[in-house]
Amino acid sequence: MSEIMKTNLAERIERLIAEARKRTVAAVNTAMVYTYYEIGRMIVEDEQQGEQRAEYGKAVIKELAEKLTKKFGKGFSAQNLANMRQFFLTYSVGQPIFQTLSRKSSLPLTKPQKTQILSDKSESENSATPLRNSQIPQTPSEELHFTLSWSHYLKLMRIENHDERRFYEIEATENNWSLRELQRQFDSSLYERLALSRDKTGVKALAQKGQIVEKPEDMIKDPYVLEFIGLPELPQYNESELEQRLIDHLQTFLLELGKGFTFVGRQVRFTFDEQHCRVDLVFYNRLLRAFVLIDLKRGTLKHQDLGQMQMYVNYYDRFVKTEDENPTIGILLCTDKSDAMVEITLPKDNNQIFASKYQTYLPSKEDLQRLLEENLK
């Protein structure tokens, strides 16, 4: 057998072993998540059979932590057990309002004022009367579909808004987000930024299906958050520096752009009628099967900028894209814009050119939530 064949065989076996180990780790992680859910359920059920006072719940978890730690070692501290308890309360199917109660998890369950499905009210609104056994959510294990790691769920169950939490769970699963990526998307208020461009039905769909990209408007955010490039908000920097920073952090920028994006090139040049033009950044979106051209504008967007982008899009539609590809999409990223100017400059039926603000700092989640509430009234 030649050395090349031996090397190829070894490489194939190494890949097989690596994949098997990866699947084993994933299976173990999934099993532990289900186990933690069951532990949480058992703690909740036990609380309902004990003394109906706050000290009882604290004592149960403390005593249980001591016994489990002694037998199994790390991983079963009082805080971890409290997290498991809250995990069960958060993810039980058909959960009533009481399941938003204390993240501290050391207090006993409290009777809800209403028996409706989980709302976005804070846990502080619950009363102090313990639940009866009949009010403990019963969830058949076959209805549970935990797809992420325990670390992901520790983050997710701290998101009080049910629709928002479900959105991030779907997106983290479908896009294979690491915990760090999940944290970044939450900190950048991805849910609110997408929801702001949708009506009530569209916002609800985000929680039920995640972000579905079927048309250009589905992928647009306003604003785009570019805090990862490390440029301050106010000091002077030019468009070339901004472009270079985006290229230096291309993986994160692709995450911010959204699903289906692949990088084509920067300062892509094309020529017609002896005139040379350059597009700042060119991407291709696999889901939309279309080129996406991005132009960076430092300052307020002008109508000339929109006209220039229209020319770029026209060129790509006529000379670059193939017949089986969809029309080219143009996105202008600017620090400021007039929505009225953009609307009057572009055609009424425009679905190819979009203008969005960008900011080099994380947005205020509270401000975006307030805007979203106003839009949905």
Q: Can you give the CATH number for the domain in which 339 is found? A: 3.40.1350.10
Record the tokens describing residue 251, joined without a space.
Answer: 């993986």
Asked whether residue 255 is assigned to any structural domain, the reply reads yes
The string over 16-36, giving b where at least 16 C-beta atoms fall within 10 Å of a residue's C-beta and e elsewhere, is eeeeeeeeeeeeeeeeebeeb
Percent of the chain clearing pLDDT 70 (strictly above): 80
Average pLDDT over residues 49-61: 66
Structural domain contains residue 87: yes
On whether the CB atoms of residues 206 and 169 are closer than 8 A, the answer is no
**Can you point out the beta strands (E) in the chain?**
224-225, 261-272, 275-285, 290-300, 329-336, 353-359
pLDDT at 116: 31
If asked whether residues 141 and 19 sit together in one domain, one would say yes
Among 13-17, 54-58, 72-76, 119-123, which stretch is predicted with the lowest mean pLDDT?
119-123
Has residue 120 got a pLDDT over 90? no
State pTM to two decimals: 0.74
Q: Identify the three-state secondary structure at position 330.
A: strand
SS (H, E, C) 63-94: HHHHHHHHHHCCCCCHHHHHHHHHHHHHHCCC
| Amino acid letter, 56 | Y
Mean pLDDT of 170-195: 93
**In the chain, what's the furthest Cα-to-Cα distance?**
86
Whether 202 is covered by a domain: the verdict is: no
Burial bucket for residue 325 (CB in 10 Å: 0-12, 13-18, 19+): middle
Classify residue 90: in a domain, yes or no: yes
Is residue 39 scored above 50 in pLDDT?
Answer: yes
Q: Show which of 99, 119, 146 is a domain's final residue.
A: 146
User: Is the pLDDT score of 368 beyond 50?
Assistant: yes
For 143-152, give one letter per residue: b (16+ CB within 10 A) or e: eeebebbbeb
Residues 140, 246 within the same domain: no
Residue 109 domain-assigned (yes or no):
yes
Instruction: End-to-end CA distance of the chain: give it in Å, rounded.
Output: 73
Residue 226 belongs to domain spanning? 221-363
Residues 131 and 257 grouped into a single domain: no
| Pair of tokens at residue 17 | 């072993």
Q: Note whether 231 and 338 are same-domain residues.
A: yes
> Could you tell me if residue 227 is inside a domain?
yes
Q: Are residues 123 and 225 in the same domain?
A: no
Residues 238 and 113 in one domain: no
Please check whether residues 138 and 242 belong to one and the same domain.
no
Same structural domain for residues 16 and 142?
A: yes
Asked if residue 235 and residue 133 are part of one domain, the reply reads no
Residues 249 and 352 placed together within one structural domain of the fold: yes
Residues 163-172: tens digit of each pLDDT = 999 999 999 9
pLDDT category of residue 7 using cuts at 50, 70 and 90: low
User: What is the 8-class DSSP label of residue 279?
Assistant: E
Does residue 367 carry a pLDDT above 50? yes
CA-CA distance, 195 to 160, in Å (whole number)? 17
Rounded Cα distance, 90 and 164, in Å: 13
Residue 201 belongs to a domain = no
Q: Is residue 55 part of a domain?
A: yes
**Number of domains within the chain:** 2
Domain-ending residue, one of 120, 146, 172: 146
pLDDT at residue 51, rounded to an integer? 54
pLDDT-derived band of residue 104, with 50, 70 and 90 as boundaries? very low
Residue 319 pLDDT? 95
Helix, strand or coil, per DSSP, at residue 305:
helix
Residue 137 shares a structural domain with residue 250: no
Question: Higher model confidence: residue 3 or residue 146?
Answer: 146
Mean pLDDT of the region 287-313:
95
Domain boundary residue, one of 126, 146, 166: 146
Residue 291's pLDDT is what?
98
pLDDT value at residue 56? 64
So what's the pLDDT on residue 314?
96
Indicate whether 253 and 124 sit together in one domain.
no
Is 258 within 8 Å of 213 (Cβ atoms)?
Answer: yes
Q: Supply 104's token pair.
A: 């501290």
Binned at pLDDT 50, 70 and 90, residue 235 comes out as low
Lowest mean pLDDT among 8-12, 135-139, 322-326: 135-139
